[in-house]
């Protein structure tokens, strides 16, 4: 039995693991930067270790030393930078520590997009035309045969990184150098492959799977992930709109077939593209828990993190999990510290105020709190708003109200985009694809509005300083923390 787990991650996903661990009676260890010493995930943990290095979440040796010092019997990387690192998983196992994630061999396999693609082909799952390439000349020859435009991808890429579009022969040389350089720096290898570019009038669909150590593999329905910027997801929903029951069944069966062929265990996501004719293609498998896992939890009614702990302990699935069915519709909105008026440029700063929505079917997974610094050296995600309804229209209605109620002050966020999206006809009707975000052209707030915001923030800072001088700030901060963590979550089911 797992008794103490080190979280090799931060922010909302660390807090997400802590909440389930607390319910299971598991102690938690977190590592944090000095700027985040009062962050929600730090305050909630059993043991808190202030890091003395920059970005400890990308340092396997540093984390393993802490795990040894604090007698952790498990490490959970969440969706942090080490989540899909097979060498880190092996180092955990070699140290006698459970890795809360896939087994080493399957993690290594699915982490290499070229090998994953070959596995999909071997079990009869459709893939996009393309192949691995080892030189620019080979890439140019293959691209000429496939036909431009093409996508050049890093074999070990992920999260939207290591992908570039080449629209011509002349462009491919520059793109080749960019992707090779990024791949080597980010993933430690310059292995690349080329695929035919299907265009933007396609949909991105993924299937959540769970697989235990006894051979059980189940699919928990598909998620639509076609609202993206810079090839990174912004909104996800389940079930995916525009997918009929027959196509949904085929895609889920393909996901299970692939995971089983890979010998996969733990939670994972098999990803597909669907073209305008309705043909689907395997693109990759993410060997970790996804940012958007709450969408599936909402419609399936299970705790995916709890399942990951159980799988790591070699427990077979319970009948409840094996017989899981989905009900209703859920949507997740990623609220990020990005300026939608400057092409979603990541931003940092101090969160001077925040207000989270309440109500039936509303869930907030947050990594922020008032007076906390949002660091630019990490991912820009602040929190996730998840809404559930008995059907999509109800989920949309609840999302609209929740987005109106949600407030984050002190730094720019992408909230204006989400408020635009919820009433944008292609999205509200469910008739959208990857091209949707190209129609977003916001006008920046006028100077008077920005001035009023600056005055309001300055006034709040003044009042806060006055409160501190009167020794009342501490009780206020504790009250905010308590409210955040004692708020019940309801999906309205």
Q: Which residues are catalytic?
A: 288
CA atoms within 13 A on the CB side of 17: 33
Distance CA 477, CA 353 (A): 12
Distance CA 173, CA 133 (A): 13
Q: Quote the DSSP letter at residue 316.
A: P
User: What does the block give as tokens for 362?
Assistant: 């509303």
Strands 373-374 and 74-76: unpaired
Angle between helices 447-469 and 473-486 (to 10 degrees): 110
Cis peptide before 216 (omega within 30 of 0): no
53 exposed, middle or buried (CB, 10 Å; 0-12, 13-18, 19+)?
exposed
User: What does the block give as tokens for 457?
Assistant: 């923030």
User: C-alpha distances in angstroms, 237 versus 12, 227, 263, 277, 323?
Assistant: 19, 10, 28, 22, 22
Provide the Cα torsion 246, 250, 251, 256; round to 10°. 140
List the alpha helices (DSSP H) in 86-229: 86-94, 104-111, 113-122, 136-146, 169-187
Cis peptide before 475 (omega within 30 of 0): no
The β-bridge partners of 373 are 350
Q: What does 21-50 look like in DSSP terms, one character per residue?
A: HHHHT-EEEEEE-GGGTTSHHHHH-SEEEE
Q: Quote the DSSP letter at residue 443.
A: P
Distance CA 445, CA 385 (A): 24
Measure the CA angle with vertex 347, ends 342 and 352; round to 5°.
120
Other CB atoms within 10 A of residue 471 CB:
8
Q: Quote the DSSP letter at residue 127.
A: B
Rg (CA), the chain: 23
Distance CA 273, CA 251 (A): 10
Whether the CB-CB separation of 153 and 79 falls below 8 Å is answered with no
Distance CA 157, CA 290 (A): 15
With CA atoms as reference, report the closest residue to 151 among 187, 107, 202. Answer: 202
């Amino acid at each position: 039995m797992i008794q103490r787990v080190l979280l090799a991650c931060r922010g909302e996903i660390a807090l997400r693991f802590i909440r389930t661990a607390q319910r299971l009676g598991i102690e938690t260890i977190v590592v944090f930067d000095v700027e985040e010493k009062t962050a929600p995930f730090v305050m909630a943990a059993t043991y808190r270790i202030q890091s003395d290095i920059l970005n400890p979440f990308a340092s396997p040796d540093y984390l393993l030393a802490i795990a040894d010092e604090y007698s952790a019997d498990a490490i959970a990387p969440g969706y942090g930078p080490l989540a899909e690192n097979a060498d880190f998983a092996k180092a955990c196992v070699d140290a006698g520590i459970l890795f809360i994630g896939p087994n080493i061999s399957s993690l290594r396999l699915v982490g290499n997009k070229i090998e994953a693609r070959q596995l999909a082909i071997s079990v009869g799952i459709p893939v996009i035309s393309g192949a691995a390439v080892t030189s620019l000349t080979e890439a140019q020859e293959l691209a000429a045969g496939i036909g431009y435009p093409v996508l050049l991808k890093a074999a070990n890429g992920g999260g939207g990184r290591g992908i570039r579009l080449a629209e011509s022969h002349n462009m491919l040389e520059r793109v080749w150098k960019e992707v090779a350089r990024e791949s080597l720096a980010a993933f430690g290898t310059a292995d690349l492959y080329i695929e035919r570019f299907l265009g933007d009038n396609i949909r991105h669909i993924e299937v959540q799977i769970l697989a235990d150590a006894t051979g059980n593999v189940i699919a928990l329905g598909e998620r639509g992930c076609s609202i993206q910027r810079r090839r990174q997801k912004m909104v996800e929903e389940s079930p995916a709109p525009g997918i009929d029951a027959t196509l949904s069944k085929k895609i889920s069966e393909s996901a299970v077939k692939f995971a089983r062929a890979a010998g996969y265990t733990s939670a994972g996501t098999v990803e597909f593209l669907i073209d305008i004719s309705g043909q689907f293609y395997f693109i990759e498998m993410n060997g970790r828990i996804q940012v958007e896992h709450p969408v599936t939890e909402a419609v399936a009614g299970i705790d995916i993190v709890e399942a990951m702990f159980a799988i790591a302990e070699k427990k077979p699935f319970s009948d409840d999990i094996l017989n899981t069915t989905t009900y209703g519709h859920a949507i997740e909105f990623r609220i990020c510290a990005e300026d939608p008026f400057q092409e979603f440029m990541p931003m940092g700063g101090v969160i001077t105020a925040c207000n989270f929505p309440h109500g039936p079917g509303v869930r907030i997974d947050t990594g922020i709190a008032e007076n906390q610094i949002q660091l630019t050296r990490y991912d820009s995600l602040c929190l996730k708003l998840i809404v559930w309804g008995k059907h999509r229209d109800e989920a949309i209605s609840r999302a609209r109200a929740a987005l109106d109620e949600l407030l984050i002050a002190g730094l720019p966020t992408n909230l204006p985009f989400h408020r635009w999206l919820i009433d944008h006809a292609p999205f509200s009707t469910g008739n959208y694809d990857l091209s949707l975000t190209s129609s977003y052209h916001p006008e920046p707030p006028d100077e008077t509005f920005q001035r009023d915001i600056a005055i309001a923030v300055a006034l709040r800072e003044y009042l806060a300083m006055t409160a501190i001088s009167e020794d009342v700030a501490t009780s206020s901060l504790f009250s905010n923390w308590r409210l955040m963590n004692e708020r019940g979550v309801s999906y309205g089911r």
